[in-house]
Chains A and B, each alone.
Chain A
Amino acid sequence: MFFLRICWMAASSLRANLMRSVLACLGVIFGVAAVVSAMAILEGSTRDAVKRFETLGADQIIVMNGSDGGRGSRNAVSLSLTHSDADALGELESVKNTAPESLITAQIKHFEKNLSIQLLATNQNYATINGYKAVRGRTLTKQDVVSGRKVCVLGHKVARQLFGETPTVGSRVRIGGIGFTVIGVMEKKGFLGMRDVDDQVVIPLTTGLTRLFGNKYVQFITVQAEESSELESIMQEVKRHMRVEHSIRAGEVDNFRVMTKEQITQQIGGFVQIMAIVLYSIAGISLVVGGIGITNIMLVSVTERTREIGVRMAVGAKRSDILLQFLLEAGVVSVLGGGLGILLGRGFTKILENVTQLLETYTTPRSIILALGMAFFTGVAAGLYPAFRASRLDPVEALRHE
């Protein structure tokens, strides 16, 4: 009851000096907005990463270029994977299928229509491994790949943008200046791994490597295991086999990396963590600045209300009562600021979402409670010194204050 009354007193004194209270709030508003945005963005990117890799099958192993050494070695990736590695791995008992994949950005043209797309050069197994089906025409066949035919399969969105509703199979398009025949259109899929495959065009690996990519190496090989429950042991087998295939002697490091979906997800989690540290540091700094603003304005308020403090002491306020009153004033300012900050942060992330179209953001109840708690804590910490000063005033001196 007493506590509530002191709260009410704090609120009414804040209302009496509205402009100043708003100014005191401002720092906290922006600080909390930063915290809320940071959390919403992190939550969004985490969910996004999880969602993307959920579409990868649990039976997949990815073989990549580069070595398994330290972080530094990843920067200088030496290409070593070839399509014959994929074929060799496909021979293994425990492996069902393999698909070598190489990806570049390219232009696709159909008369005056011109689109920028992801061009994937791969083999006939790509569609089967990923359970990715054609809605019109067909996907690549072994014959397409072996003979290096100039045929392509369009992603859902590419087909719609180039042709609209008109029939597409059999049409001629130009990719990177070379003529291709459209043999099929894929179903609407969205994300498959890291990329939106609706924006993708698939061509035979051999055609891509010889005519467009200008090298004989592939970027990665997707390996589909026979038994997803034995993924770990199959991964070891793939590693051993790759070392033989690449003639790597005992003691030498691998010139390739093998990862499962789980490991890739973990790696993404690591990136998200780094991002979290950066974002939270920025948000934390702005909250501290907000707190300094409160301290500043509370000090002015204490000086201005010295006489009131004297009167309160004269009618029986203990030092602890005065301390509590000013602490709560700071607390109320910061919680109000926190509330407004949450709204502002939410608005900001919504705008970010709509403008960039990159990611969705999520403001969870947990992050709201956390933000309000941080705001309150900042306020109380910021109010500590001014409130202490107020409580240590000498009543006689305070009453004399003009």
Chain B
Amino acid sequence: MIELRQLRKLYKMGDSIVHALDGADLDIGAGEFVSLTGASGSGKSTMMHLIGCLDRPTSGTYKLDGLAVNRMSDRQLAMVRNHHIGFVFQTFNLINRTSAVDNVAVPLIYSRKTSTRAAAMAALDKVGLTPRASHKPSELSGGERQRVAIARAIVNEPKLILADEPTGNLDTRTGEQIMAIFHQLHAAGTTIILVTHEMDVAAQAKRIIRMRDGKIVADEMLDEHKRTALQAEARDARYPVGSPT
């Protein structure tokens, strides 16, 4: 589904050139659930922007579902994002002045769908927010807002969901509820790429890709054993030995 070959992204910062992404090779199959982790500055955001067709690589090729995305125009990229990709952001990024259901309908408007309400309501139903459909984001809790954002991401039934620190602004319990939704979507066959620096969240995926300095430094499948080990590691990092729990 995703095929990256020697993907590079360079930025000019004054006189120096920053290698935000330094020749990445990556294949992700349809229906996979992948975590992309790394410290800030590791290049994971750049990677997400490139995979999400928000940005173009300086060099290298990117094929999404067989389409050579790296050669597309702005207009074509917008259509790819609209039809094939759903974004979930850390800060939800909802439009505050309109209701939940109108927020969910935004991608449908841009795909020129004639009736948007039924589809938007169906997407809200999938995240369990039907009763809150007419509420504005300011009247919803953080978890509810993120569920609206997920509904917006899936309303056009994309094959790929890109989630950028989706639990970063939520407490642990709410974060778990959000992760449960991602698991459901994965079970239904959607490809999910989860960008996070939280190890216990990353450990919930089936595959984990670690980045550092613009390069992929590790790419492993997670079995039960490794997952438990990672989660224990994450807990230890959060509650160091000796601190009251």
Interface residues, chain A, with chain B CB atoms under 8 Å away: 1-2, 5-6, 9, 12-13, 15-16, 307-308, 310-321, 394-396, 399
Chain A residues, Cβ within 8 Å of B55: 394-396
Report whether A315 and B54 are in contact in the complex, using a CB–CB cutoff of 8 Å.
Answer: no
Report whether B81 and A315 are in contact in the complex, using a CB–CB cutoff of 8 Å.
Answer: yes
Residue in A1, A310, A321, A394 whose CB lies within 8 Å of B110: A321
Q: Nearest-CB distance from B4 to chain A (Å)?
A: 17
Report whether A2 and B78 are in contact in the complex, using a CB–CB cutoff of 8 Å.
Answer: no
A-B contacts, 21 listed (Cβ < 8 Å): A1-B112, A2-B109, A2-B112, A5-B109, A9-B109, A16-B96, A311-B89, A312-B110, A314-B52, A314-B87, A314-B93, A315-B81, A315-B107, A315-B110, A316-B78, A316-B156, A319-B75, A319-B78, A320-B75, A396-B49, A399-B93
Residue in B54, B74, B106 whose CB lies within 8 Å of A399: B54
Report whether B74 and A318 are in contact in the complex, using a CB–CB cutoff of 8 Å.
Answer: yes
CA distance A15 to B96 in the complex (A): 12
Report whether A316 and B97 are in contact in the complex, using a CB–CB cutoff of 8 Å.
Answer: no
CA distance A307 to B54 in the complex (A): 14
Contact string against A for B residues 52-87, beta-carbon threshold 8 Å, 1 for contact and 0 otherwise: 101100000000000000000011001101110001
Given contacts A16-B97, A395-B55, A399-B89, contact A314 B109 (CB under 8 A): no
Q: For the complex, is B114 an interface residue (Cβ under 8 Å from A)?
A: yes
Chain A residues, Cβ within 8 Å of B177: none
CA distance A2 to B98 in the complex (A): 18
Chain B residues, Cβ within 8 Å of A6: 109
CA distance A319 to B110 in the complex (A): 11
Report whether A1 and B106 are in contact in the complex, using a CB–CB cutoff of 8 Å.
Answer: no
Q: Nearest-CB distance from A221 to chain B (Å)?
A: 75
Chain B residues, Cβ within 8 Å of A317: 78, 82, 110
CA distance A12 to B109 in the complex (A): 15
Question: Which residue of A is nearest B152, CB measured?
Answer: A315
Report whether A311 and B93 are in contact in the complex, using a CB–CB cutoff of 8 Å.
Answer: yes
Q: For the complex, is B39 an interface residue (Cβ under 8 Å from A)?
A: no
Q: Nearest-CB distance from B108 to chain A (Å)?
A: 9
